[in-house]
Amino acid sequence: MAAEALAEAALAGWEILGRRVRMPAGELDLIAERDGLLASIEVKARPSLRDAAFALQPRQRARLVGAAEAWLAANPGHGAAGIRFDVMLVAADGTVRRIANAFRVGD
């Protein structure tokens, strides 16, 4: 997907550990780590950044949390400096904006 490639290109300095990773609870668009900080990154592409910002709903956040927990259980040794959930917004014109720590478990 073009949006995921744009999002990945914006992750300079991060090691990509997974792309479109399917877990029983759901799919993780990108999994990246930098200096021990593990980020599960959801990519949302819409006509505008504003539209993309409102595309992640509570039910999907819960699936992402479950998928990330399963991935971490299967891949121990990552996230020593912490774990967070980021959202990469991609507009139709190719603009990318990252929302670091976009939500937390239980939100």
Q: What is the pLDDT of residues 15-45, one digit of tens each?
A: 999 999 999 999 999 999 999 999 999 999 9
Give the architecture-level CATH label for domain 2-103.
3-Layer(aba) Sandwich (3.40)
User: In terms of DSSP H, where are the helices of 14-92?
Assistant: 49-53, 58-74
pLDDT for residue 1: 63
Q: What is the pLDDT of residues 46-66, one digit of tens each?
A: 999 999 988 888 888 999 999
pLDDT for residue 105: 77
Q: What is the pLDDT of residues 62-79, one digit of tens each?
A: 999 999 999 999 999 999
Chain-centroid distance, C-alpha 52: 13
- E strands in 1-107: 15-23, 26-34, 37-46, 82-91, 96-103
Domain residue extents for the chain:
2-103
DSSP 14: P
pLDDT band at 6 (very low <50, low <70, confident <90, very high): very high
